[in-house]
């Protein structure tokens, strides 16, 4: 026998029995983005490495430790995208989207890649969905982005979620705060983990994002950013909180929330799953008013979020939220006579206009076909034999209850719609 291959560590296959959950996660997101006036953008899975070094931040753990980087055949350094925002901003600039509308509202979905230690909800190829609002400094845009994520997670059925928000101030405020945090941590380095020693050198604010217990004890006493915020940044954050309250979204201010990427300014936020605590982030984001300029464009304010699909799936399972569709198939069409396959083929063709239908290709004993229908997760089996061909009917058997009904071919579609609730 030849070598047996397995999926690479940190990746996973999405099988048909799981895909219903994913499809619903994606469909609800697309529908909500459409209602909020967002357009879809699809960007390549690899870019010039420099894009992420300048966009995501050279000092971040993502760029320093986690990117999949490789030379192409001409020796150019390329990287699989570890996140979506730099690629979206690159496309925004390359295609002149600012000329088409003052504010660009974009959404995306797709795989991202980080060489990280695999764990629950954490993969080396993982999937994110996200939005970007580019071209406005308004705190209302911050709140729209937050509310869209909040409404989305509620719409797919999650109840046990929480929201924490913070402000990092503008670029100048952030730099002042970074100095304050550096001074605070300098005498406490011996109590920080090895990674935080490196973060301290590259970006002290990243220490505030550490999840190691000993580091969390240290940063619990760290000074808060409020003392260094200028009046404009204070006013912006006050407005964000006011609009969140007006929208009826529960939140709490977490002065230690900084998020893991260097480009954030002013508002940052995170939605977490309450069943496993604030470390179980489902998604988050914030404002990044310097990123467009950093990537070669004019000074342009922007705000957005991303959310991890694998983590959302875990949260849905934890709350035992149904996927939406219970059955993988609506109808399994079984031909049980030598002269009934042509009729079964026509029946399946008609039913497929409205339903998910499997047509059995081979003539097998009825019990074997019923067993196959059950194993494949069909709601009904439509049985076609000699009598059914003669009467232009099919016997529909409900696979869970065992109830049967003989239905005329021309009435089968409307009958199934009533039984399956319009699916």
The pLDDT tens digits of the residues spanning 118-168 come to: 887 789 999 999 999 999 999 999 999 999 999 999 999 999 999 999 999
What is the rounded CA–CA span in Å between residue 138 and residue 64? 33
Examine residue 139 and state whether it is found in any structural domain, yes or no: yes
| Rounded CA separation 329/17 (Å) | 11
Average pLDDT over residues 320-332: 72
404 lies in some domain: yes
Q: Which pLDDT belongs to residue 280?
A: 82
Q: What total of structural domains would you count in the chain?
A: 2
Instruction: Specify if 1 maps to a domain.
Output: no
Whether residue 99 lies inside any domain: the answer is: yes
In a domain, 198, yes or no: no
pLDDT of residue 124: 95
Out of 269, 291, 318, pick the residue that ends a domain: 318
CB-based contact 115:68 (threshold 8 Å): yes
Question: Do 366 and 300 belong together in one domain?
Answer: no
Residue 237 shares a structural domain with residue 304: yes
For residues 49 and 91, state if they share a domain: yes
Q: Within 10 A of 327 (CB to CB), how many other CB atoms are there?
A: 17
pLDDT of 249 above 60: yes
Residues in the chain: 423
Q: Average pLDDT for residues 197-209, to the nearest whole number?
A: 80
Residue 366 has pLDDT above 90, yes or no: no
Averaged pLDDT of the chain: 89
Residues sharing a CB contact under 8 Å with residue 302, sequence separation 6 or more, in sequence order: 89, 132, 133, 134, 135, 287, 288, 289, 291, 292
What is the dihedral sign for C-alpha 268, 273, 274, 277? Answer: negative
Other beta carbons less than 10 A from residue 164's beta carbon:
19
**Exposed e or buried b per residue across 406-416, where buried means at least 16 C-beta atoms within 10 angstroms of its C-beta:** ebebeebeeeb
**Confidence (pLDDT) at 106:** 98
CA-based torsion, 255, 259, 265, 269: positive or negative: negative
Asked whether residue 7 is assigned to any structural domain, the reply reads: no
Q: Which domain holds residue 370?
A: 329-416
Residues 279, 397 within the same domain: no
Domain for residue 222, yes or no?
A: no
Q: What is the pLDDT of residues 85-94, one digit of tens each?
A: 999 999 999 9
Domain boundary among 298, 318, 338: 318
User: Which of 103-112, 205-214, 218-227 holds the top average pLDDT?
Assistant: 103-112
43, 148: one domain:
yes
In this structure, the strands spanning 378-384 and 329-335 are parallel
Paired sense of beta strands 378-384 and 393-398, if any: antiparallel
CATH of the domain at 373: 3.40.50.800
Residue 65, domain member (yes or no): yes
Are residues 303 and 412 located together in one domain of the fold? no
230-241 pLDDT tens trace: 999 999 999 999
Max mean pLDDT range (136-145, 222-231, 259-268): 136-145
More confident residue, 112 or 275: 112
User: Are 97 and 62 contacting, i.e. CB atoms less than 8 angstroms apart?
Assistant: no
Q: 251 and 392: one domain?
A: no
Provide the 8-state DSSP code for 308: E
Question: What value does the mean pLDDT take over residues 16-34?
Answer: 90
Task: Indicate the pLDDT class of residue 329, thresholds 50, 70 and 90.
Answer: confident
Confidence class of residue 423 from pLDDT cuts 50, 70 and 90?
Answer: very low
Residues 268 and 121 in one domain: yes
150 and 80 in one domain? Answer: yes
Residues 53 and 124 in one domain: yes
Let me know whether 313 and 352 are in one domain. no
Predicted confidence at residue 96, as pLDDT, reads 95
What is the pTM assigned to this prediction? 0.84
**What band does 322 get if pLDDT is binned at 50, 70 and 90?**
low
Looking at 356-421, list the stretches that DSSP marks H as alpha helix, in order from N- to C-terminal side: 366-375, 386-391, 412-419
CATH of the domain at 123: 3.30.930.10
**Is residue 230 within 8 Å of 170, Cβ to Cβ?**
yes
Residue 160 and residue 80 share a domain = yes
Decide which of 318, 341, 375 is a domain's last residue.
318
pLDDT at 324 over 70: no
Q: Give the mean pLDDT of 284-306.
A: 95
């Amino acid at each position: 026998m030849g070598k047996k291959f397995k999926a690479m560590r940190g990746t996973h296959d999405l099988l048909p029995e799981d895909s219903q959950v994913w499809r619903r996660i994606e469909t609800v997101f697309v529908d909500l983005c459409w209602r909020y006036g967002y357009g879809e953008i699809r960007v390549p899975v690899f870019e010039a490495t420099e894009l992420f070094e300048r966009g995501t931040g050279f000092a971040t753990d993502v760029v320093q430790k986690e990117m999949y980087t490789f030379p192409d055949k001409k020796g150019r350094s390329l990287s699989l995208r570890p996140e979506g925002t730099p690629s979206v901003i690159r496309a925004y600039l390359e295609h002149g989207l600012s000329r088409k509308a003052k504010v660009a509202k974009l959404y995306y979905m797709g795989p991202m890649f980080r060489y990280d230690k695999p764990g629950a909800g954490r993969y080396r190829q993982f999937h994110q969905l996200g939005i970007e609002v580019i071209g406005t400094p308004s705190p209302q845009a911050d709140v729209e982005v937050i509310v869209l994520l909040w409404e989305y997670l509620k719409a797919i059925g999650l109840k046990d979620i929480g929201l924490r928000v913070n402000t990092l101030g503008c670029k100048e405020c952030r730099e002042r705060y970074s100095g304050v945090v550096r001074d605070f941590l300098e005498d406490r380095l011996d109590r920080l983990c090895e990674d935080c020693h490196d973060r301290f050198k590259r970006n002290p604010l990243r220490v505030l994002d550490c999840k190691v217990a000993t580091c969390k004890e240290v940063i619990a006493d760290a000074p808060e950013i409020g003392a260094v915020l200028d009046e404009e940044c204070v006013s912006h954050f006050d407005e964000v909180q006011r609009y969140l309250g007006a929208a009826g979204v529960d939140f709490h201010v977490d002065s230690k929330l900084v998020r893991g990427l260097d480009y954030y300014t002013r508002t940052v936020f995170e939605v977490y799953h309450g069943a496993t605590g604030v470390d179980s982030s489902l998604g988050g984001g914030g404002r990044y008013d310097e990123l467009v300029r950093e990537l070669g464009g004019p000074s342009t304010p922007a705000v957005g979020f991303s959310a991890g699909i694998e983590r959302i799936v875990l949260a849905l399972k934890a709350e035992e939220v149904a996927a939406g569709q219970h059955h993988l198939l609506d109808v399994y069409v079984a031909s049980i006579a030598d002269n009934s396959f042509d009729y079964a083929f026509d029946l399946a063709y008609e039913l497929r206009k409205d339903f998910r239908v499997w047509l059995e290709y081979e003539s097998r004993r009825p019990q074997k076909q019923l067993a196959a229908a059950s194993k494949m997760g069909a709601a009904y089996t439509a049985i076609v034999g000699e009598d059914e061909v003669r009467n232009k009917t099919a016997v529909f058997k409900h696979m869970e209850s065992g109830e049967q009904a003989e239905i005329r071919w021309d009435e089968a579609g409307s009958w199934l719609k009533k039984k399956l609730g319009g699916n």
